Amino acid sequence: MNLFDETNDMIKKLLDGVMQQLTITNEVAYLEDNVSKVIRTRVTAELCSTLVRIHNLKISDHKSIIEKLTKWLIDNQNENGSWNETHIKYDKPSTVFTAICGVTLLEVSESFPNLNIDEKIFENVAKFLLSQEINYGAYRKSELVHADILNADAMAAVFLLKYGNKCSNENYINAGTRAVAHICSHQFIDGSFPYGGPLRAYPYKYHFYIPCIHYQAVTLFYLIKTTPYVKSEWLEHSISSGTKWLMENQKNDGYFKWENSGLNFALYLSGTYAFAISVYQKISANDTNASKLMKKSMNVLKQQIFQDILLRWEKGGTKSVIKGFFEAPKGGLIGKYPISFTFLRTMHRLYREVARSRISDKITPSKIITKPTGYSAYLGTVESSTNHPDMYMTTEALDALSFSLEGMKKK
């Protein structure tokens, strides 16, 4: 079976699981998460983007559902143009969720102009995103997280460039270009991107100026989406060196070298493999190793499905847990942190090794987040003591895989 068919089959399988959690009324449709019990605009938007692409590829007809998903997204936009990041612990306006929802609606508008999406919706998105620019090309991640997070900058850039070119607005185009330049300026010499800027920001205890395999793939995924609008050698070089770093951190069996990834809360995230496939797609025609790694990534991804939904983390077993225990200190030492914090980071990585090997159909919040410790202030997400089916990872993967499928079809 060729990679196009494998990717299409993977999308179909994950869609089967996702659609079981889709609420459909006479007017709207949206995703409910049976595990987290949270309704997120982002996951509905990523599902909508996926359906738009496979509809355009004439794989299956989803116009009716797309229209209902679109209406629900529009109904849930805030007056200031944003969408909230809804989480188990909070529900606040977010640059990330706003950019993703905005891009999805732009894609719907392009593919289904008869839906007549009001231009004010896009104008309000652009104005909100510009209001979140805290420094040259740097965007506050959300109302809760004031840090400059590079993948969030990339998401904002995609919307601003896409919409700016659509309406010929130089202000939006320049803002998007600034964000891209800002991201590339922070790239480390080895090709990796830090998760965030070098400065500590509320509510976190320390900085995020460390490499992360998962967010390397995410940042590259969105940077690649800016290339139709930013034609420059420096951007192509940045993507090329970033992709090379990602490939160098993937083993021959397709699994990533997580010991070289410094961001603990993104350790072993299963959706990484879907983003990697999409990133490698860009160079696969001229790089046989990239093509091989796409297939190996797909093989790993297939192993991470539980009840037709991706697990939160890459599965662990006895051998991998033992290996992870030996590798944890190396990962814990990444980044310039106090010794006490480095120790806590190492302990967290050991904890993750155990947690990812225990599969459950529900989230079991761990003591790491239930106790108000200094370390809990560093976590960016809910820490479960068990691995579980995760809608968040699943719709991210669908978005990335359908983008890859589109690229494969064009070739």
CB–CB of 80/124 below 8 Å?
yes
b or e along 56-92 (b: 16 or more beta carbons within 10 Å of the residue's beta carbon)? beebeebeebbbbbbbbbbebbeeebbbbbbbeeeee
CB–CB of 305/250 below 8 Å?
no
Instruction: Give the range of the structural domain holding residue 139, as residue numbers without chain letter.
Output: 3-410
pTM for the predicted model, two decimal places: 0.96
Per-residue pLDDT band at 108 (split at 50, 70, 90) = very high
Of 136, 145, 216, nearest to 177 by C-alpha is 136
At 382-406, the pLDDT tens digits run: 688 899 999 999 999 999 999 999 9
pLDDT greater than 50 at residue 372: no
- CATH code (residue 55): 1.50.10.10
Neighbour tally for 27: CB within 10 Å: 10
Pick the more confident residue, 382 or 300.
300
Tokens of 158: 């995609």
Q: What letter would DSSP give residue 91?
A: E
At 155-192, the pLDDT tens digits run: 999 999 999 999 999 999 999 999 999 999 999 999 99
pLDDT greater than 60 at residue 84: yes
How many domains is the chain partitioned into structurally?
A: 1
Which residues are within 8 A (CB) of 83 and not within 5 positions of it... i.e. 6 or more apart? 41, 42, 73, 76, 77, 93, 94, 97, 98, 101
pLDDT value of residue 103: 98
Tokens of 47: 């599902």
pLDDT greater than 70 at residue 367: no
- Helices 170-185 & 119-131, crossing angle to 10 degrees? 40
CB–CB of 105/122 below 8 Å?
yes
